[in-house]
Structure 1
Amino acid sequence: MDDTLADLFAVIEERKETLPDDSYTASLFTHEKGENAVLEKLGEETTELVLAAKDDDRDEIAYEAADIVYHLLVLLSMKGMDLDDLRAELESRR
């Protein structure tokens, strides 16, 4: 799982640097969508995850959780943070 997150974060960072026109991720780093869009998506996906959990829909739980993780990684990148920052915080809670 950690390799998957690292790979995904690397793609996010690459899209932030190169800003390809056809990339949803890149659009989040432009004025086209920006930070507010990421924050709105995090709220939206969290609500959808809660509803999926309430319905005990395992497939939908996984789908919405993945959306949350993706948008969380985009937000970390926007704030100049990375997986090491997240790991350090999680380790400090152990």
Structure 2
Amino acid sequence: MKRLSSLETLGLWARSHRWADLRRFPRNEADDVFAGLTIRGRNHIVRLYNWSAGGACIDLPGSAKLGERVHLVCGKLRRHGRVAWLASGRAGVEFDS
């Protein structure tokens, strides 16, 4: 069996804490903020974890699938987009440009 190398031996590009530095837009953290989400013609209230000009991280509403079209509304934030990633009960929404 092949032995995996430790994190210290990996290049900086492979370290998990570096991914935040590779984002195209700065993130705005949200504390106890909720948003309206429309997916498959149904409305949901979801927790908003963070957002940027390019997208948002929200609670996963039911059984969303990658690529599904969504509409997110929170105050003046009103954006259409798609589900870009799913992990640990959360979803990433990539906004349309």
Compute the TM-score of the two structures, normalised by the length of structure 1: 0.23
Bigger radius of gyration: 2
More helix by share: 1
Larger strand proportion, structure 1 or 2? 2
TM-score (norm 2): 0.23
Highest RCO, 1 vs 2 (Cα 8 Å, sep ≥ 6): 1
